[in-house]
Structure formats: structure tokens, C-alpha cells
Amino acid sequence: MLEDLQVLNGNLELKFAKYNYEYTVTVEEDVTALELSFIPLDGVNVLVIDNELDDTDNIVYLKAYKDMDEELYTLYVHKNTTESVDGILKYKESLEVKKEEVELYKVQILGISIFLIIVIIFCLLFKKRNV
């Protein structure tokens, strides 16, 4: 029932086609409502529903109707959000790995201990048994 649909303050990701009833729209973060331009067929009324945009993701409906016929167009609206540099730096700091120095003698003791355990297991497995 619509001949054309345009979003004046956003980006309609697909070109409008009158038999496609679902679209994705991207707008800037400060947009509070879609500015729509549409051309209905003769005698068709259009009602815009839920055109108040919240934080990031919203759904706006266009109900086109004439007499008993009705078509519902759904616009999935996504807001582009920008994060401040301070927020990014705090996130980066939380991901940094803290390095700890391991003292050399601890590594040596660990290596010697593992070697002795292997030698003891080897001796137990291959020890001659008296029959």
C-alpha cells in the first residue's frame, strides 16, 4: 500500500520495495524519533506506531490501511553508539595481565623435583623382581 518509503534522518539498509514489509534502519545516537517520508497509494491512510527511540535497538511500525485492507511495515532501528575514550581505557586496563617475576631458584627446584619423581617411577616399574 506504500509506493515509497524514506528515512530522512537515518539509513534504510535495503531499498524500499512495496512487497517487503521488514527493514533495518541505522540512525545516530542522538536521534529520538524517525523522520519518515512515504508515498501511499490513493486513499490509503498511514499510522506510525512506536516512533519514540530509546537507547540502542527499537522497532517502529507503519500501518497502512484502506477500508478492510491493512499492511504492517516493520522498521528495526539500531542506534550507532560512541563510547568515550575514558570508558575504553578503563576496559583496556581491566584486561591487562599482571606479570609476576618467578625467581630462578624456584624454577630449578621444580625441575629437579620433577626429574627425581620420574626416576623413582622408572625404577619402580623396571625393578628386577625375585621369584
In the block, cell 581505557 appears at 89
Which residue from 93, 38, 95 is spatially nearest to 71, judged by alpha carbons? 38
Residue 24 lies in a domain: yes
Mean pLDDT check: name the lowest of 3-12, 30-39, 86-95, 101-110.
86-95
CA distance 75 to 23: 5
State residue 126's pLDDT score: 85
pLDDT at 22 over 80: yes
116 located within any domain: no
Total domains in the fold of the chain: 1
Would you place residue 114 in the very low, low, confident or very high pLDDT band (cuts 50, 70, 90)? very high
User: Would the pLDDT of 1 be above 60?
Assistant: yes
Q: Is residue 38 part of a domain?
A: yes
Strands across the sheet with 11-12, in order?
A: 11-12, 22-28, 69-80, 57-66, 45-49
Instruction: Measure the CA–CA gap between 76 and 68, rounded to whole angstroms.
Output: 26
Q: Are 79 and 31 in contact (CB under 8 A)?
A: yes
Higher pLDDT, 107 or 53: 53
CATH number where 71 lies: 2.60.40.2340
Q: What is the mean pLDDT of the chain?
A: 87
Domain annotation covers residue 125: no
For residue 84, is pLDDT > 60? no
What is the domain range of residue 76? 2-80
Evaluate whether 26 touches 78 at the Cβ level (below 8 Å).
Answer: yes
- Per-residue pLDDT at 130 exceeds 70: no
Q: Each residue of 41-73: pLDDT tens digit?
A: 999 999 999 999 987 789 999 999 999 999 999
